[in-house]
Chain A
Amino acid sequence: MTQQGVRWTADQVLALAPDAASRKAGSKLGAAGPWSEAGSSDEGTVWGLCKGSGSKPYQTVVDIADASGPAYKCSCPSRKFPCKHALGLLLLWAGGDGVVPPGRAPDWAEQWLAGRRRRTEEKRAARPSASASGSGDPEAARRRAERRAERVTAGASELEQRLADLLRGGLAGAEQTGYGLWEETAARMVDAQAPGLASRVRELGAIPASGPGWPVRLLEECALLHLLDQGWLRRARLPEELAATVRSRTGLPASADGPPARDRWLILAQYDLVDPKLTTRRIWLHGADSERTALLLSYGAAGRAPELALPVGLVLDAEVSAYPGAGQLRAALGERFAPPAPAVIRPPGVTTAQAAARYGDALRDDPWLESVPVTLDHVIPTPDGDSWQLADAGGATALPLTPSARSRPGLWRLVALSGGAPVKVFGECGHRGFNPLTAWPEGTGEAVTLC
């Protein structure tokens, strides 16, 4: 597994950064100045000494050969991961200015690498036995699951009661009630171990302050929450696939036990949803051979970056396993056979009408779905009053952009890339409109991220 010829681009390196501040700090260290004794080996290791504020330079080493993603080690005290030194070193290496010549790793780097490889081997050897033994007593696990289901049922029933009370008194009053009531109900749902219900309840609380048209949106969301409650309470009578969807929407844990599917996965988009308590990273993959779209989720505790980071535009030879449930695209990343590599693959696209129809179809399997991933072919970003839409180059229809997409800087990158000419755009198409995430120019040209 040699790394010859697979130098990364700076964008791909920067995509590994845990946050914007690290990205910036890393870029500044991506110049020869503070570095000494840097080098790289054919086995895919990059190392160097970085002069910091102290007297002793930091020892930084990155192992990019590992198929499960790059591994970093730095003697700096930063708790960011990867730290700015690792990012700077990779940028320096990606720049290819000859500042990181091929060579033999120094002892301090070799030690860490050897230890790391040994642990990986041990883990691999241990894996078969671990999966066979399972986790403890199956009888106890079943009892635990039952107890939890009872709690969720109690929570769902209570929530039904609250919704009925709300509708009896009228939504008009919801504007005055404010956040408190919803926060309290959400906390009750957390106690009931139904985090999916809790987050929906919390979102209800924000709707009355979301501007004109809020009663419609509040009724829609109340109705869908009611539908989910009812789905849970009657899950025994649902088809197995739909029941799995209800369980996952309610927030019950599931494991990605679908059969592992190996493919050349094109990394379509990666973006973070930041919440005060949790950062959720969403990564969309497109299987070049299976034409399947998969969603990887990775979580980071408050203020910390999720661990998984994949550079957009590259192709990853790996296995993914689907989570259960009808219409669920979520998958877990399994074994990776090679690090992400450049490729000229682009996802095939559809027209705006087909995209809208695809969302409608998907609701059949999962009525709670907000949007579906779609690639649009030959669309032109077109101003429409205060808003923007993606208009078919050859047709008369268009998909409006979502309100949040209109205010992101990515909109202007998309408009600039197009220049009034058709482009290919990947994004999420739903009832709020189209949320563009990545675009490609006609002809040749790299993917441009919009999120």
Chain B
Amino acid sequence: MNRTSAPVDPSAPGLSASADAPASAAWEELVTAALLGTDRRTPPGCAPGPDAPGALLDAAAVETVRRRAGLRPARAAERPEPAPEDPRPALPAAAARRLAMLLADRPGAGAGRSRGTAPDLMELLPQWLATANTRGFAAPPQVLPALLDAARGRTDLRPAALTFAGPRAVWLARLNPDWRFALRATPGGGAALPDTGDTEKVRQLWQEGLFAERVALLAAIRARVPSAARELLAITWPTERAEDRLMFLDSLRTGLGPDDEPFLEQALADRSRNVRATAAELLSALPGSALAGRMAVRAGACVTVDQMRETPTIAVEAPRECDPGMERDGVVTKAPAGRGERSWWFGQLVEAAPLGTWPGRLGGRTPQEIVALPVADDWQGELHAAWCRAAVRQRDAEWARTLLGTPSASEAGGPGAVSLAERAKLLGTLGSAERAEWVAGFIAAHGLSEAFQLLGVCAVPWAAPLGRAVVDALNIARDAGSYPWSFSGVMGLAERCLDPGEAGRLDGLVAVPDEPEDASPGAGGYWAEAFQRLVTTLGLRAAMAEELGTL
């Protein structure tokens, strides 16, 4: 890179001139004379006077062409280490072109303008990446820069994008600081984790590795042999820092089982309050644990059925104090601002008590009967909300189903005892078919205005009944004369989640309808546009899936 013979030229263009000391000295003389002017400095080999500038230019022209003609290649710098092999099969050509097109559609260019009938390609990228990763294809190397740039701007894309990008992306990220995030996201800058069966190596990495490497190692082992991960953690537990203990403990959530109880029970005595709380939470998710049993006794003492009334009614007597035993079992003593501390303690007790113990305590009633019982003194909200949290934590589908109620029930649409956020969480404990059916029923009864959050927990692509319910509801909304952008959230979800096979059902909707008198002006055209975009996007998704060989 150095033009060794021309030190006056610090930004020397690439090639290096052949070393020729006298010639380069002559050139420097010419440059100096040109800078100062021939009036002040006579160039070498020229007579001063009116002809000096011409002579200087003649000489400089000869030198310039001479220097250029004599350029030699530079010495090669140290070559980079070759990128690791990517053993995955190459992406089919059509899919590679599709990817390039998805990546070329950068947000921002059309900002502020309506998208019209064209699909939002960038929104399809996550789906494309997920499918390609399932199929285990390797990324074409030349798209990696665009892929990394896209992942740089959108953190939600990063895990899937980096998985697809493979080892070469990590190699590239070491060369370009813009993509440093790829190194952070990959533990050890992409160094492979040892084989989880190799005890020696695993122990060494566990004891000497960086925090990110250790978290990844623990998660990998926990996913395969849960007990091995726990034993590994136990080796170094007393010497870990509090925030590290919290992270490690959290990784036990995967594959949590009764075997973990002794370890968690011991963590209840931890120095750190957050570690204690997490250990208690994990234990309460194990219905057979001693902690769960203790909580069941405490909660049971607070809830009784008052048989003296005309209809049996649940009576709640919230705890009067938070004793050290409760505190040790993870109950947080201090209530958040604005909440009574007795109801705060009560909520935590019920949340942590195994749901399976309630029928026994409440006169052998089934969950349905229990939830249907009236609750005295306005405790219903508090009690039912705590049961919801318990059902989610213990992944108890029967209670979740009961607490959700029937989707068409009138209170399901309004702000009932159970909020939409809680419903979405409860739905998460059900199987995907049941979830889709419940949400479909909800939409059929209450329309789309409250459905966004619930649709978000449904499996993609949407099951047939759910898809039909959404399309019908959109159709109804259109006929009601509202504007499509009131439903842009659901529309966007539908574009990404509706089964492409359903596109045929939309055929009738893409036409511009006659405007009814009470409709918002021009709404019909906008709806047709929105439906057209939906159909186009579905077609695109079908093509994407086919190119990746999943149809």
Contact = CB atoms under 8 A, between A and B. Distances in A.
A68 interface: no
Contacts of A383: 77, 80, 175
A150 interface: no
Highest count of chain B CB atoms <10 Å: which of A28, A218, A402? A28
Contacts of B101: 10, 27, 30
A397 B76 CA distance: 5
B543 interface: yes
A80 to B, nearest CB: 16
Interface string A329-340: 000000000000
B56 A389 contact: no
A96 B98 CA distance: 13
B508 to A, nearest CB: 15
Contacts of B105: 24, 27-28
A344 interface: no
Interface residues of B, number: 79
Nearest to A169: B37
A171 B34 CA distance: 6
Interface string B375-403: 00000000000000000000000000000
Contacts of B536: 31-34
Highest count of chain A CB atoms <10 Å: which of B15, B39, B63? B15
B79 A382 contact: yes
A367 B58 CA distance: 13
Interface stretch (A140-148, A305-313, A412-420): A412-420
A216 B53 contact: no
A24 B94 CA distance: 18
Contacts of A170: 34-37, 39-40
A42 B119 CA distance: 31
A116 interface: no
A363 B74 CA distance: 20
Interface in A403-444: 409, 412-413, 415-421, 431-434, 441
Interface stretch (B5-13, B241-249, B273-281): B5-13
A165 B34 CA distance: 11
B326 interface: no
B145 interface: yes
A367 B65 CA distance: 6
Interface string B57-84: 1101101110111111111111111110
B74 A400 contact: yes
Contacts of A165: 53
B344 interface: no
Contacts of B11: 211-213
Q: Determine chain B's interface SS by DSSP, over half rule.
A: helix
B40 to A, nearest CB: 7
Given A360-B68, A433-B13, A389 B74 contact: yes
Interface string B5-29: 0101111111100000000000000
A382 B76 contact: yes
B34 A396 contact: no
B59 to A, nearest CB: 8
A397 B14 CA distance: 12
B516 interface: no
Nearest to B85: A419
A424 to B, nearest CB: 14
A219 B31 contact: yes
Contacts of B52: 167-168
Contact of A420 (B9, B76, B81): B81
Interface in A160-184: 160, 163-173
B253 interface: no
A364 B30 CA distance: 23
A175 to B, nearest CB: 10
Nearest to A221: B64
A397 B70 CA distance: 15
Nearest to A160: B54
Contacts of A398: 73-77
B400 to A, nearest CB: 40
Highest count of chain B CB atoms <10 Å: which of A33, A360, A364, A395? A33
A216 B31 contact: yes
B305 interface: no
B48 to A, nearest CB: 11
A396 B1 contact: no
A385 B1 contact: yes
A24 B119 CA distance: 12
B519 interface: no
A400 B1 contact: yes
Contacts of A166: 53
Interface string B139-177: 001111100000000000000000000001001100110
Contacts of A226: 54, 57-58, 60-61
Contacts of A169: 37, 39
A224 B145 contact: no
A412 B14 contact: no
B104 to A, nearest CB: 6
A137 interface: no
A95 interface: yes
Interface string B96-124: 01001100110001000000111101000
Contacts of A211: 11
Nearest to B512: A55
Highest count of chain A CB atoms <10 Å: which of B6, B63, B168? B168
Contacts of B473: none
Nearest to B145: A412
A416 B168 contact: yes
B533 interface: yes
A28 B119 contact: yes
Contact of A392 (B13, B64, B76, B116): B76
A167 B532 contact: no
Interface stretch (A197-205, A250-258, A351-359): A351-359
A421 B82 contact: yes
Nearest to B172: A416
Given A31-B540, A168-B38, A359-B71, A431 B82 contact: no
Highest count of chain A CB atoms <10 Å: which of B35, B78, B105? B35
Given A397-B73, A400-B14, A223 B37 contact: no
B539 interface: yes
Given A172-B36, A380-B80, 20 more contacts: A27-B121, A33-B539, A167-B57, A168-B53, A171-B34, A171-B37, A226-B54, A356-B71, A360-B70, A380-B79, A391-B79, A397-B75, A400-B1, A401-B14, A415-B175, A417-B141, A417-B142, A420-B171, A431-B13, A433-B15
19 contacts: A31-B540, A33-B536, A171-B34, A173-B37, A219-B30, A226-B57, A227-B61, A227-B65, A363-B68, A384-B77, A389-B14, A391-B79, A397-B74, A399-B73, A399-B74, A412-B145, A416-B172, A419-B83, A419-B171
> What are the 4 closest A-B residue pairs judged by CB atoms, nearest first?
A33-B536, A433-B14, A170-B37, A400-B14
Interface of B: 1, 6, 8-15, 30-31, 34-40, 52-54, 56-58, 60-61, 63-65, 67-83, 93-94, 97, 100-101, 104-105, 109, 116-119, 121, 141-145, 168, 171-172, 175-176, 532-533, 535-537, 539-540, 543, 546
